[in-house]
Amino acid sequence: MSIDPSYGLASYVMGRHRKNKVFIWQSRTLKGRVYEFILASRFKVPGLISWKCMHCMQLKDQWKKDGKIIKNLKIPLVLIDNDIIKENPDRPLNAPHFCQGKDAVEAVLQRSKLQFYEQNAGTSGTTQDVVNQFTENVLESVPFNLNATQKRQIKRSLDEKCEKVMKKVLQKRRKESCHQDGEIEEEYRHGEYAMELQEISHALPQNSDADLDRDEDEFVDVEGDDPIPKKDPPQHLVTIHSIPNIL
């Protein structure tokens, strides 16, 4: 199948939750704007997919919450066949756009922040190096054309936003490191305490069960020890037969 040069091949970016792709189209009628489409339905024909305008959907939901009449408002759909755009995304056949799309720079920045965090959460490089490398990769992989002013704007915004994100990443790492150090120290203290208990148990005399069951009255003094002194009974206590018969 030949590709229509007026529409060309579709360009995609990853969605917010990295599950589904987002079809992105740089508007040819609105300068500096892009339209983002999410998957609407798959047909039985392999590769034939219908995409709906995400910004029109968001606007319709907002108008519905505001109580506006949206009964006859249709979401614009674009048909793509095996990545070949089959109709004009600026003017879909089923319904016109009632949104103004999204600013191209804003669209890039919005998706780049999440992407930066996911890619660099475990990076060990310096903040400046990581941010610079990421900014260059973003500018090289943008699926639409940007002029020099837009590129400078994206670079300046990414440098600022990604630096803040990187600081949060570093703070998270420090917290996790402190938590792990605390667990290791607790395990070490627990191990030392267990070793001390084991040493004390080895130092104590090992009494047999017979010794533990022995009654206190059966205690026998060891030869050479001082005998336990016997106490005399109290003087005022006498037996009845010791009283003389005076009658």
Q: Average the pLDDT over 196-206 and give the result.
A: 52
Region 132-160 average pLDDT: 77
pLDDT for position 49: 94
Find all residues with CB under 8 Å of 99, minimum gap 6, and list them.
53, 55, 56, 58, 59
Q: How confident is the model at residue 75 (pLDDT cuts 50, 70, 90)?
A: very high
Identify the band that residue 213 occupies on the pLDDT scale cut at 50, 70 and 90. very low
Question: Model-level pTM?
Answer: 0.57
What DSSP designation does 166 have? H
Beta carbons within 8 Å of 241's beta carbon, 6+ residues apart: none
Q: How many helices (H) and strands (E) does the chain have?
A: 5, 7
**Gap between the Cα atoms of 147 and 218, Å rounded:** 104
Domain-by-domain residue ranges, the chain? 8-100, 104-178
Per-residue pLDDT tens digits for 47-58: 999 999 999 999
Q: How many CB atoms lie within 10 A of CB 81?
A: 15
Query: Is the model more confident about 15 or about 37?
Result: 37
